[in-house]
Amino acid sequence: MAFTLATWNINSVRLRAPLVLRLLEEEAPDVLCLQECKSPVEKMPLEGFAALGYRHVVARGQRGYNGVAILSKTPIEEVAAHDYASLGHARHIAGRLENGVVVHNFYVPAGGDKPDREVNEKFGQKLDYLAAMRDAFHAERPERSILVGDLNVAPREDDVWSHKQLLRVVSHTPVEVNHFTDAQEAGGWVDVTRQDIPSGRLYSWWSYRSPDWQAADKGRRLDHVWASADIASAAHGSRVLRDVRGWEQPSDHVPVFASFDL
């Protein structure tokens, strides 16, 4: 069974429900993972998604911040919803599809402005969160699993518009990249997007604060699709839907897609 999966930081699922519906109609992924829903689950506009065939949902929400959801055309069974680093935030949900594949959907803390945990508590929380992910994957190495989400780290030099200018900017600092890589390696996760698109600049986020995002193109690749090593060879066809950044009243993130022959 082949299926296509997408991940998208929607930055308010209620405000941008029309954009979610447009993506589902135009691209029809089998599974869509959303982050930053900024809504309790009971206030997410799930009826509209169900009307398009996405009748199966696992989600965690909270008022105003965070919030993750997995929409699926086929049944999905919730298998976990971890509060890594005990932040009390709705940042993770995991479900198992009928083919046995477990989908982890993450929204890693952004980490605030200053990349120093001594003066910025949020940066410390981000590092702690990534360390907790590492520990969890070390304790139980994932198999037949896919991990997606807004991981809020752009690990490679060609994942940012200027490696040199971002070395001290949160999302691309060496300490974050090290924590990110440790979590990835602890799980034996393969970066599916870079397996399919091995070289060249690739971004999934452009700041609202940067005018003329398209021409300036000061983007970062913060949104990721990983697969456990046992199924990584089944992945193909990764795409980053850059044009979605130009939709009306857009999210600052765009969807990232991958397909799997399993």
Partner DNA sequence: ATGGTTGATCGTCAA
Which residues belong to the active site? 107, 150, 253
Give the whole-angstrom CA distance, residue 9 versus residue 254. Answer: 7
Of 45, 53, 112, 124, the one binding DNA (CB under 7 A) is 112
Say whether residue 115 binds DNA (CB under 7 A): no
The window from 140-148, 153-161, 207-215, 232-240 that contacts DNA (CB under 7 A) reads 207-215
Minimum CB–partner distance for residue 159 and DNA (Å):
17
C-alpha Rg value of the chain to the nearest Å: 17
Minimum CB–partner distance for residue 242 and DNA (Å):
18
Provide the Cα torsion 134, 136, 142, 148; round to 10°: -60
Residue 206: beta bridge partners?
A: 219
Q: Are strands 102-107 and 205-206 parallel, antiparallel or unpaired?
A: unpaired
The window from 6-14, 46-54, 196-204, 226-234 that contacts DNA (CB under 7 A) reads 6-14
DSSP state of 247: S
Helices (H), 77-148: 121-139
Say whether residue 179 binds DNA (CB under 7 A): no
Of 38, 96, 179, 224, the one binding DNA (CB under 7 A) is 38
Say whether residue 60 binds DNA (CB under 7 A): no
C-alpha closest to that of 66 among 41, 47, 48: 41
Minimum CB–partner distance for residue 63 and DNA (Å):
4
Residues contributing to the annotated binding site for Mg(2+) = 9, 36, 150, 152, 252-253
